Chains A and B, each alone.
Chain A
């Protein structure tokens, strides 16, 4: 067995796992807190990626884009929640899936109208071009940056959830929205901000992923399937669970290709099926 190849794929798996984490975090947050299935989550990633390409590519504003795009996508998320999704909370999962899937279709078609149907890509900023050589493995500098940035974002998210007042309200509302409301928590506002936080993380995942892989209008769907797999594998309880599951999925995908070149990308779903079969899972009983 070629160890240097395994090492290279290990590093690669960590990088793609990081992007999965950013996406799966919001999905699991919104499901965990609001018991809401958001099929439009990949579309928020898509909006983030295209806004990032426009800002970083046409205007040359990569660094501002990292801050501004998540805020914009968070704002869009908030508007979507207020206009549409809050009306679906009481309607049950089937209506939520139908509603958000319809929304996803509308967003993808809008993206095609605005940005066109073809693949678009953007270069990493000059500062982050080039490669690191670790032994015989090669890792582009930009990908190392993505790992570092995601680590930092993960810490910020952990702080928001575990240490901030908003995090406390969020967990209380997830536990019992009636009791929280009785104690003076504005639950609808907590839900709206939770949704915005999830949307913003999907947005930043898009901005960070765009220079690594390019974006097509179908990219949101592609990555959503994997984000769902991560959420199933990692459960819906903690940030660290989602984080570990994201890394596991990235590594299984990347290293799987070494041993089974034709089928590496389905191994993730095999893993997901195994988890579903062997554990009594919240998602399965929800």
Chain B
């Protein structure tokens, strides 16, 4: 959400709705840090559990805090449901709605332009990203399957390609050798230059800021969002609490 803060510095008061587990907590901590850095205020947060589908009371709480932005720090079905409920409560007319992690074309298609119009979203991939590798990928995918690739398709492709590259570099299929070969590996991902950080194996790749289009602005049925910016913002290994890599189980 850093780019959104730069793009719209007038958005000063932020309210968050967060899933109460480690992923949500990580997003919440990062959001608070970003807001403090940008001089914006975190006016409140509501936690919800992983199985809730009724968000109306949190939306009322959010509204009462009078924020400029309501930011959803949940994922998947819960972000779909909570965003729809926020729209049904008319919140889009009163404030800016944002969703930190959208899960790609499939989710946004299900939401549709009536819900998405004007909503800001973070996303790992979008098929209109302007790199030559992405154009090749999208053309090849459409040729093979007759539809537009979403985030899951892109991630599956990139993941498989990365492992093959690791095997080729290591000259072996031994997992330890592949891991070592990929440490510090830099490559052109679909979203642009990327790196696997040697210290903690964090993948450093571009993350996108998207904004939902109105139905009238859409060129085709998959043209649901506009890519506003693309960039990288990662905590260093020590900030992220990953000073030492400890293999699982040791």
Contact = CB atoms under 8 A, between A and B. Distances in A.
B76 interface: yes
A4 interface: yes
Contacts of A121: 80-81, 84, 110
A213 B85 contact: yes
A164 to B, nearest CB: 33
Contacts, number: 89
A261 B77 contact: no
A222 B53 contact: yes
Contacts of B47: 261-262
A254 B57 contact: yes
A140 B88 contact: yes
Interface residues of A, number: 39
A218 interface: yes
Nearest to A5: B64
Interface centre among A5, A138, A219, A221 (most CB of B within 10 A): A138
A261 B46 contact: yes
Given A138-B90, A142-B88, A214-B84, A118 B57 contact: no
A253 interface: yes
B77 A119 contact: yes
Nearest to A258: B61
Interface in A222-238: 222
Contacts of B63: 5, 8, 138
Interface of A: 2, 4-5, 8-9, 12-13, 15-16, 118-119, 121, 123-124, 129-131, 137-138, 140, 142-143, 212-216, 218-219, 221-222, 253-254, 257-258, 261-262, 264-265
Interface of B: 44-47, 49, 51-58, 60-61, 63-64, 76-78, 80-81, 84-85, 88-90, 110, 114
5 contacts: A5-B63, A118-B77, A121-B84, A137-B60, A219-B53
Given A121-B110, A142-B88, A216-B77, 6 more contacts: A13-B57, A119-B77, A131-B88, A140-B90, A215-B53, A261-B61
